[in-house]
Structure 1
Amino acid sequence: MKSLNPTVTKSWKNLKKHYLSIKNKHLKELFKSDPNRFKKFSLNFEDIILFDYSKNRLTSKTISYLINLAEEFDLKNSIISMFQGKKINFTENKPVLHTALRSSNKTNMLNNKKDILLKIKYVLQKIKLFSNAVIHKKWRGYTGKYITDVVNIGIGGSDLGPFMVTEALKPYKNHLKIHFISNLDGTHVIEILKKIDMSRTIFLISSKTFTTQETITNATTVKNLFLNQPKVLKSDMDKHFFGISMNEQEVLKFGIIQENFFPIWDWVGGRYSVWSAVGLSISLSIGYKNFSLFLKGARSMDQHFLHAPLEKNIPVLLGLISIWYNNFFNTETEAIFVYDQYMHKFSTYLQQTNMESNGKNIDRNKNIVSWQTGSIIWGEPGTNGQHSFYQLLHQGTKLIPSDFIIPINTHNKINDHHIKLLSHFFAQTQSLAFGKSIEEIFKESNFKKEILKDQSSLNNDINIYKLCKGNQPTNSFLLNKITPYTLGILIALYEHKVFTQGVIMNIFSFDQWGVELGKYTANNILVELKKNNLTTKYDSSTNALINFYKLNRK
């Protein structure tokens, strides 16, 4: 990877000048001046996804400068380096090989002279056999009854990914009920356990290191409650507890037998691990065949990202457009709105993918950055957001670039629900782009044109409050349908967008030292909380908070 300060590159300087010439242009003007704008700024992927980026505040010159920026950073070779397994996770001296988890490459992919594809194939086969046994009621609990429930215990990537995907693909689910425990708050454990019969439940404990405090605390509580049931022997754990980790010794120490160990590897970051054994709950929920289609969809986007020219590469364009807004329009935030209830966790999932990856302020040259890196990602499904925060998008003072995603075909054809949903989708991107002028407002109100010439009348008229300036940028994704295959495409697309941004922002996207700091500090404070004496160990605020807790605990 090239290590450059992006702000001193020729392309960045060109973009800075170009921004001054375009910053006040309205999307109305851009569309009016170019009848072929949609054709220029849209791409079709495999005839199942249409990507429309024409409603962005950019021109062909903007895209040209952005592509030049990507070329100055040698983005193509960085992409190749990732797929070849080079150690691009520099601060942890690791390759980044989540793409290998969905690879169909028949040749050996070597990592430290070990064929990782054989390892991946072994784990996939184990997932397949186990999933089939549980789904077809051949795997039995300690009472001899077949399994009805699956509880995934994890946090971060070990929870967000499988939870989002199992929700998104509910139309494909079988009879198994899938539950997720992540929060350290004991309430989460208790509320999930109320819903299950332990004798008919399997527990998937998912932690890369198998030392994550939240996960192991929750798992230990569940294990102890299981073992405290009448007539339960310790050996009965073998039918109910499974470990997903790279730390086999800790899994065995926990009391899980080797046969119930599903390995993952240190070259897969937690937020990119949904394609690995971390996705076991997905395979159990929708069946291994559909899980394979999910991997196949991601593989298809991988090939597009690896081989498509930059100017026709969807993840690259998405990443460049984000850089354009974040660094030149100073937007700082991006919204993702999915018009599909099954996809209600998608924005939350992408928060981690983006913000944990690119929330960095030190560049690859070990310097504090002077440019914007990761954006704040947020969103809400469907028309719900229209009745809460869309008001700010239409008439507020913030510029908020947004992605809109919708399936053309729904899994639930009820009356005219979906066509109405589509009408709202199209209406929002159109309204955000073009707004509503005073002339249009008065025309709707049957006012005479003469009133527009009278500024005092205009200022005194209540209709002024209906003005929507528009010029709010959006990307639109129209999917044929939400399926395991298309969902795999969509997730991989956003993964590669994040990679593109990281390369050009000159940061390391695949570590998360900020997260590690929080864990380290919490462990130290935990020791302090167990003491009875008041503390003076920390700053005045933290001391006061801890001491208030100690004085009031029961």
Structure 2
Amino acid sequence: MFMPLRCDQTTPWPLLQTHFAEQGRHLDMRRAFEQDADRFAHFSQSAPHVFADLSKNLWDRDSEALLLDLARATGLEAHRNAMFAGEAINTTENRAVLHTLLRRPANVALPGDVPETAQRLADVHATLNAMLAFAEEVRSDTAITDVVNIGIGGSDLGPHMAVRALEEFRIPSKRFHFVSNVDGHELHHVLQGLKAESTLFIIASKTFTTAETMMNARSALAWFAAQGGQDVAGHFVALSTNLEATRALGITTTFGFWDWVGGRYSLWSAIGLPMAIAIGEQGFREFLAGGHAMDEHFRTAPLAQNLPVRLGLLDVWYRNFYGFTSRCVAPYHASMCRYAAYLQQLEMESNGKRVALDGSTLTCATSPAIWGEPGTNGQHAFFQMLHQGADVLPLEIVAVRKASHPLPGHQQKVLANALAQTQALMVGKASDDGHRHFPGNRPSTLILLDALTPATLGALIALQEHRVFVSGSLWGINSFDQWGVELGKVLAKDLETRWDSGELAGLDGSTAGLLQMLRTPAV
């Protein structure tokens, strides 16, 4: 199996360090535009359903050329091909990484496919067809007015983001709710407005052992019984492969997925059932097609014209040379209010690692922190820091050309605001009054969709997935495991036991003190 070479162990790495010291750190984008009349044309490009302007970033053609050399030296192309072929590139779990197979058309073979691929693809489409048929049944069932998805992590963030983003395509006769937090306030608030006879619950957990999800699922089942509900099989469906556990709860309708689908990459699988119910079979297939179109772009386009590659290289450039520790994400579309939260898991759970594939400690930093809110709300919250703060924080805006609402004037205003923010960050404004001085030369990327549709959302998400792959590949890490989430789970189980027993032995002083205090009834 192919193993990429770490970027800091390649010949181009010291060349990039020298280039950054001599030129990169001194780059002024304003002068760069004056000196290169074709800068916008060179650093912007179209990919399937997506246009991106990368010209307002702190790099030039020499920087990009060296970064492309770095990608080639690490073996990025071979690593990418190994992923698409179905090789077990998730080395710590000895698994393939095949979320791209979830959106590949039936009976399509790619060069280098491992022998298991044809059967895997057949299984994908059998499950997809069954899931979409069930979604259509729910859509046509007028007795069901509310759909509640109970999951956490990738079983919540993806469907929640997508259903909210595509609200203009949603079936109007049904309401969609998402419960992820084990804090009972969330589930209680949702259940207050529901009736057992008109609610469908979707329990999303591959193993059916996820602590938060199973706690919420059992509470939902108890509520259903208390409300007089008797047909559990008719009102609960599971997205899981643990059929014994689902049957034990009386759930007979299940849709599974595979160990080569990571949770944060699972929206394309049966985990997308809430989305399929919301936008219908045709809409979901368009979503898959948009993702597949971006897959083909990433798989076949030359590195220099490959948008996920260019974005991933820019991320490495900023993280390891400029030392930027975070990236702000601002979608200028109100329906994309869960987009930043979705990207947080996608990038930080994938690339928030400190060891290489071989287990050795890395010498360079990896994932930036991802954060943000929709524009224009963010402009009246944290954009002050983007423009005049002590830290330089790269901004990534997603804008949508066409509105889906009829209100005059709004879309022009929101797009003008998006452009103005990228312009202001770059050009700044000189003033002798320090309070009114904007230093400028601050980086931003603008990603433009023609409209927010299932196909364009699919392409955008696939773009971000592949971008994360690129930076993770260059860093030489495994972007597809998440061992870092396990320790807290183990300790929480221990503390739940201690909560009942009162046993404090072996705990640190702070945890012991807090547990003892919390076990004491509040006055």
Q: TM-score range by the shorter chain?
A: over 0.9
Match of 2:9 in 1: 8
Shift of 1:341: 0.2
Alignment of 1:278 with 2:271, yes or no, is: yes
2:204 and 2:271 in contact (8 A); partners too: yes
- 3-state DSSP class of the match of 2:370? strand
Match of 2:498 in 1: 528
Match of 1:447 in 2: none
1:246 and 1:266 in contact (8 A); partners too: no
Match of 1:79 in 2: 80
1:87 and 1:94 in contact (8 A); partners too: yes
Match of 1:450 in 2: none
* C-alpha distance in 1 between matches for 2:396 and 2:329: 5
Runs of 5+ unmatched residues, structure 2: none
Match of 1:194 in 2: 192
Which of these residues, 415, 439, 461, is aligned with residue 469 of structure 1?
439
1:110 and 1:116 in contact (8 A); partners too: no
Shift of 1:401: 1.1
Which of these residues, 504, 510, 513, is aligned with residue 541 of structure 1?
510
Corresponding letter in the other structure for 1:244: L
Query: Where does structure 1 differ by over 4 angstroms across 4 or more consecutive aligned residues?
Result: 107-114
- Root-mean-square deviation (CA, aligned residues, Å) is 1.5
- Higher-Rg member (1/2): 1
2:50 and 2:459 in contact (8 A); partners too: no
Which of these residues, 401, 408, 419, is aligned with residue 408 of structure 1?
401
Deviations 1:217-247, CA, capped at 9 Å, x for gaps: 00001111212333x43xx111101110122
1:245 and 1:265 in contact (8 A); partners too: no
* C-alpha distance in 2 between matches for 1:107 and 1:53: 33
Match of 1:168 in 2: 165
Alignment of 1:121 with 2:116, yes or no, is: no
Which of these residues, 450, 458, 461, is aligned with residue 488 of structure 1?
458
Shift of 1:3: 4.4
Match of 1:453 in 2: none
Alignment of 1:134 with 2:131, yes or no, is: no
Match of 2:47 in 1: 45
Shift of 1:334: 0.6
Match of 2:236 in 1: 241
Superposed counterparts of 1:101-500, under 5 Å: 101-107=102-108, 115-137=119-141, 146-174=143-171, 175-230=173-228, 232-233=229-230, 236-257=231-252, 260-438=253-431, 463-500=433-470
- 3-state DSSP class of the match of 2:520? helix
- Larger CA deviation: 241-250 vs 165-174: 241-250
Corresponding letter in the other structure for 2:201: F
Which of these residues, 515, 539, 550, is aligned with residue 485 of structure 2?
515
- In 2 relative to 1, CA 9–113 (structure 1 residues): closer, same or farther, beyond 3 Å? closer
* C-alpha distance in 1 between matches for 2:133 and 2:75: 43
- In 2 relative to 1, CA 305–114 (structure 1 residues): closer, same or farther, beyond 3 Å? closer
Deviations 1:377-408, CA, capped at 9 Å, x for gaps: 01110111111111111111111111111001
1:176 and 1:284 in contact (8 A); partners too: no
* C-alpha distance in 2 between matches for 1:553 and 1:211: 32
2:50 and 2:460 in contact (8 A); partners too: no
Please give the TM-score of this superposition, normalised by the length of structure 2.
Answer: 0.96
* C-alpha distance in 2 between matches for 1:164 and 1:361: 29
2:205 and 2:213 in contact (8 A); partners too: yes
Shift of 1:134: 1.4
- 3-state DSSP class of the match of 1:204? strand
- Larger CA deviation: 120-129 vs 4-13: 4-13
- In 2 relative to 1, CA 171–543 (structure 1 residues): closer, same or farther, beyond 3 Å? same
1:96 and 1:267 in contact (8 A); partners too: yes
Match of 1:454 in 2: none
Shift of 1:536: 2.8
Q: How many residues align?
A: 517
- Over the matched positions of the two proteins, sequence identity in percent amounts to 39
2:87 and 2:114 in contact (8 A); partners too: no
Alignment of 1:22 with 2:19, yes or no, is: no
Corresponding letter in the other structure for 1:542: T
Shift of 1:539: 0.9
Shift of 1:548: 1.1
- In 2 relative to 1, CA 497–100 (structure 1 residues): closer, same or farther, beyond 3 Å? same
Corresponding letter in the other structure for 1:164: M
* C-alpha distance in 2 between matches for 1:474 and 1:229: 52
1:534 and 1:550 in contact (8 A); partners too: no
2:257 and 2:270 in contact (8 A); partners too: yes
- 3-state DSSP class of the match of 1:209? coil
1:131 and 1:287 in contact (8 A); partners too: yes
* C-alpha distance in 1 between matches for 2:290 and 2:116: 28
* C-alpha distance in 2 between matches for 1:484 and 1:4: 36
1:56 and 1:473 in contact (8 A); partners too: yes
